[in-house]
């Protein structure tokens, strides 16, 4: 799917890194494609209809389950991570799910749910920021739990591999309201958070450029 969050337009076309050895076109389009449709529908359209709070610096969006398909939305993010993990492309060599790779595939196939795994929460960048166009995956640790970060379509998406007993999943922890579940979840849009996360994006892009990757909009070095 080709996405330009700055304009809000998206089309179903291959964009960015592509590894033809991962899946056949039919599997990628018909099986994972339905997850893509739901994911981008939420991120680029539906979310704007559910602004719960706003001021000059912050917006809070809240979606209840009647407005999204929880299983498809969760599988959308898991599928991105899973495809990166099994890819042979050098830019994804550090994305390794290990023991969770087979579990991710089982979730995508509908064989199992593993609700304690792949806990997802999302921050949104303001629409006028250039880093909305950067797409990358990186890894980190949050509260000493292995976590992957997707920067795409104007969002920073955190995926905690094993969320069992993670503090963010506790009801008394504020971020617990942001964890995607089958009832509701919140997304926070914040310029302050954007600038806090910007350094991570800059580090990642510099790393990619050093490896020889040049996005079409990259400045000349």
- Residue 145 CA to chain centroid, in angstroms? 17
Average per-residue pLDDT in the chain? 82
Counting the structural domains of the chain, the total is 1
Please report whether residue 65 resides in a domain: yes
- Asked if pLDDT for residue 191 goes beyond 60, the answer is yes
Give the pLDDT confidence score for residue 99 in this predicted structure: 94
Is the pLDDT confidence value at 147 over 90? Answer: yes
Within-domain flag for 57: yes
What distances in angstroms separate CA 13 from CA 35, 83, 84, 115, 156, one per listed residue?
14, 16, 18, 31, 22
pLDDT value, residue 26: 46
pLDDT at 11 over 70: no
> Per the domain annotation, does 29 fall within a domain?
yes
Q: Are 91 and 155 in contact (CB under 8 A)?
A: no
The pLDDT > 90 percentage for the chain reads 54
In this prediction, residue 76 carries a pLDDT of 97
- Kindly state whether residue 219 falls inside one of the protein's structural domains: no
> Does residue 112 carry a pLDDT above 70?
yes
Q: Which domain holds residue 62?
A: 2-210
**Residue 217, in any domain of the structure:** no
* Integer Cα distance of 167 and 54 in angstroms: 27
The structure's pTM equals 0.79
What CA–CA distance (Å, rounded) separates 82 from 208? 20
pLDDT band at residue 3 using 50, 70 and 90 as cut-offs: very low
pLDDT of residue 131: 60
């Amino acid at each position: 799917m080709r996405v330009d969050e700055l304009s809000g337009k998206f089309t179903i076309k291959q964009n960015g890194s592509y590894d033809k050895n991962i899946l056949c076109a039919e599997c990628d389009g018909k099986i994972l494609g339905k997850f893509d449709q739901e994911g981008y529908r939420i991120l680029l359209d539906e979310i704007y209809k559910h602004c719960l709070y706003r001021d000059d610096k912050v917006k809070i969006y809240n979606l209840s389950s009647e407005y999204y398909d929880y299983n498809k939305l969760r599988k959308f993010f898991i599928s991105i991570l899973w495809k990166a993990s099994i890819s042979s492309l050098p830019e994804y060599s550090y994305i390794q799910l290990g023991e969770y790779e087979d579990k991710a595939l089982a979730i995508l196939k509908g064989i199992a749910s593993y609700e304690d795994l792949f806990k997802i929460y999302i921050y949104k960048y303001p629409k006028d920021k250039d880093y909305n166009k950067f797409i990358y995956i990186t890894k980190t640790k949050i509260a000493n739990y292995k976590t992957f970060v997707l920067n795409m379509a104007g969002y920073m998406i955190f995926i905690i591999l094993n969320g069992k007993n993670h503090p963010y999943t506790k009801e008394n922890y504020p971020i617990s309201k942001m964890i995607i579940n089958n009832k509701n979840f919140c997304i926070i849009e914040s310029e302050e958070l954007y600038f806090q996360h910007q350094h991570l994006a800059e580090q990642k892009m510099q790393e990619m450029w050093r490896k020889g990757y040049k996005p079409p909009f990259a400045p000349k070095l």
